[in-house]
Homo-oligomer: A and B are copies of this chain.
Amino acid sequence: MTVTPFISRSPDLTGQDAPCPEISLPENPVAIAQELAAEFAATAAERDRQGGTPQAERDRIRASGLLQLAIPTVYGGAGASWITVAQVVREIAKVDASLAHVFSYHPLGVIIPQLYGSEAQERYYYSETARQNWFWCNALNPLDRRLALTRDDSGYRLNGTKSFCSGAKDSDYLPTTAVVAGEEAFTVVVIPTSRAGITCHDDWDNIGQRQTDSGSVTFNSVTVYPEEILAPRQPGHPFQTFRACLAQLNLANIYVGIAQGALAAARDYAQTQTRPWLTSGVELATEDPYRLHRFGELWVSLSGAEALVDRAADQVQAAWEQGWSLTEQQRGDCAVAIATAKVAATQAGLAISNQMFDLMGARATSRQHGFDRYWRNLRTFTLHDPVDYKLREVGNWVLNQQYPTPGFYA
């Protein structure tokens, strides 16, 4: 497929003539993800302590072909379904929630021009991402209105700051939301991260998701070309606002992955390291009646969350395939299913990442194992938006048959 040059004036875009990486489309993405996960697992606890940018791991993702997943085949990508994307993300989340986080915002980023832009923009960004294997990030944070888009004689400029810009560091492309004077709604802009005036700060030092680089990005008189300002085809259309559904499902999916990883870690440790309690009357920790009961309870909770996330993924894929035919009702049903799954995943994950210690015993608190990172990661990430308002949304549908209002969080 030939890609028509889109932004001729952009000097900082890696052009068609630049040597492109040779990336094969992944044939079995889940298997690839499992291989990567096995690698990442070896260093996950140590990298959690360090924080910072997981450069080597990001490069391994780049080389794996997994950045091609969500790009339609017509634009040169792998055309994977959201079900597959979710499985891939979950495999990584089982061992490293930070990497799952930054990876997952790539497919969530690369679709932005399709939803918020013109057909030409959709084509350009998809094709060039496929060709040049760009790694996208997330700088959309709609709770932060400090970034302004202005126009003067020389063109458009971005000035200001965005917080919570996950994966911006080392990314190739950066979608962001800017305020235009006099307008309530954000304008979405997609520019190369290397554009002059953009600074990704090393100011993410939080208790969890420590290698997500979710710090701030400042924009100092950053040039924006008109073609980089997304021109919505159908503002407010259920399909346009569908990205919030995808993002929410992604959160739920990562929560489930973290929970699965935590329970597996507890199981492995309890099988091999834990001693029976002195008054338990059993010879092996694996025979302890209360340990078995807790593993049972946590498994029930996890299985429910997993089933709901999988169900929601099926609905989401079906909705996605509707494209611009997606109805409000179909979108609403998805949003309710996703919110339901996200709450269940939050509850199951927090229970597991807490109680895994009861399953393993006191010596498992040694810092070498880093078992607290499951809780720290999940606790941090589950605050993305409040679970109580998710519950309210679900309840409003159950009681009043009202769908969640489409927005950045539903």
Contact = CB atoms under 8 A, between A and B. Distances in A.
B358 A387 contact: yes
Given A395-B299, A399-B286, A389 B358 contact: no
Interface in A270-308: 270-271, 277-280, 286, 289-300, 303-305, 307-308
- How many copies of this chain? 4
Contact of A289 (B277, B289, B357): B289
A298 to B, nearest CB: 8
A363 to B, nearest CB: 9
Contacts of A361: 383, 386
A347 B267 CA distance: 23
A247 to B, nearest CB: 15
A307 to B, nearest CB: 4
Contacts of A205: 366-368
A24 interface: no
Given A296-B395, A358-B383, A389-B277, A365 B307 contact: no
A362 B383 contact: yes
A358 B372 contact: no
A392 B299 contact: no
Contacts of A372: 207-208, 376, 379
A343 B304 CA distance: 11
A60 interface: no
A146 interface: no
A396 interface: yes
Nearest to A343: B300
A295 B399 contact: yes
Interface in A385-410: 385-400, 405, 407, 409
B292 A392 contact: yes
A16 interface: no
B343 A292 contact: no
Contacts of A383: 357-358, 361-362, 364-365
Contact of A308 (B307, B362, B392, B399): B307
Contacts of A290: 289, 293, 386, 388-389, 392
Interface in A37-84: none
A409 B280 CA distance: 13
A314 to B, nearest CB: 11
Contacts of A157: none
A293 B388 contact: yes
A399 B271 contact: yes
Give the most central of A362, A383, A396: most B CB within 10 Å.
Answer: A362
A359 to B, nearest CB: 8
A311 interface: yes
Given A207-B367, A398-B267, A299 B386 contact: no
A186 interface: no
A299 B340 contact: yes
A375 interface: yes
Given A205-B367, A207-B366, A299-B397, 10 more contacts: A278-B409, A292-B399, A294-B395, A295-B395, A299-B398, A300-B344, A300-B391, A300-B394, A307-B311, A362-B380
The 8 closest A-B pairs by CB, nearest first: A304-B304, A296-B395, A296-B391, A295-B395, A292-B395, A296-B394, A307-B307, A290-B388
20 contacts: A205-B367, A207-B365, A207-B372, A263-B398, A271-B400, A277-B385, A279-B389, A279-B405, A280-B389, A289-B290, A291-B395, A292-B392, A293-B293, A296-B394, A296-B396, A300-B391, A304-B307, A307-B307, A354-B379, A361-B383
